[in-house]
Structure 1
Amino acid sequence: MRLYSRTGVIALDDPEFGTFTADPDTGGFDFPDEVSDRLHAFHHRGQQLWETDVERQQRLLTEELERRKDPATLLSAVEQLVKAASATAALTAAAEAAPKKPAAKRAPAKPADQ
């Protein structure tokens, strides 16, 4: 079973099953069922130390929803949008105000048979 550490563990030594390292892309560990069942049961002060894919997704979604409810977060997002819109408007105005160069005149092509 794949488990994720809530404490930042990147490697785990088990006396019976050997050493396990976290997947560098996801941070998850692929444990045998015996190890994952044992680790999944560990808690510290009411908080799980290891979580499954589903538990991790639920926790991350809940944290994101709580973060979005925060008025300061909303204000920060709106300020970023206003800054981006202002920068885009300034670039557009500068591009329109810049003098346009006339297109270079090309000499007529010579026929190939001459």
Structure 2
Amino acid sequence: MRLYSTTGATRLDDPEHGTFDVDEAGGFNFPDEVSDRLHAFHMGGKAMWESDIERQQRLMSEELERRKDPATLLAAVEQLVKAAQATTVLTAVAAGATESVQGLAAALAAPEGTTPAPAAAPEPVPAPEAAKPSRKRAATKPADQ
């Protein structure tokens, strides 16, 4: 059976079955005898080894608890807003660099003794505005029919 260590173990030496190393996913593939024995180990009321199903349930419950926390949710939204603003700024910088490169290419392609027309300056791209809260309110009583 496949087990995962809750203590961070990366290797297990069993006198009867040899040495087992953790795989890329963080689990161990044990023979049934070893997995049955290890799965029963508890320390301080907490299991030291968990199965695939137990691990999935634990990870999902931790994720749900993390998402319930308003401070965590706010921090995640702020990170998304900052990333969007950074992307907008980088897009504007890239557009300016493209214009400069095109101007240099035109200057190199122009015959000697002539001056090419200057390229138009790129227009700045405004940063996205923060979402405004909705002013609509939910009805507190049902509408008349």
Q: Same fold (TM over 0.5)?
A: yes
Sort the TM-score into its range (normalised by shorter chain): 0.7 to 0.9
User: With CA pairs under 8 Å and 6+ residues apart, which has the higher RCO, 1 or 2?
Assistant: 1
Q: Deviation digits for residues 19-61 of structure 1, max 9, x if unmatched?
A: 11111x1111111111100100111111110001111111111
Percentage of identical aligned residues:
70
RMSD of Structure 2 on Structure 1 (CA): 2.2
Structure 2 residue runs without a partner (length 5+): 111-145
Letter in 1 for 2:27: G
The total of aligned residue pairs comes to 105
Match status 1:47 vs 2:46:
yes
Letter in 1 for 2:78: E
Letter in 1 for 2:16: E
Cα separation, partners in 2 of 1:87 and 1:18, compared to 1, 3 Å: same
Inter-partner Cα distance in structure 1 for 2:90 and 2:22: 45
Inter-partner Cα distance in structure 2 for 1:14 and 1:73: 42
Letter in 2 for 1:81: L
SS of 2:9's equivalent?
A: coil
Cα separation, partners in 2 of 1:18 and 1:94, compared to 1, 3 Å: closer
Letter in 2 for 1:63: E
Cα separation, partners in 2 of 1:18 and 1:96, compared to 1, 3 Å: closer
Q: Output the TM-score relative to the length of structure 2.
A: 0.63
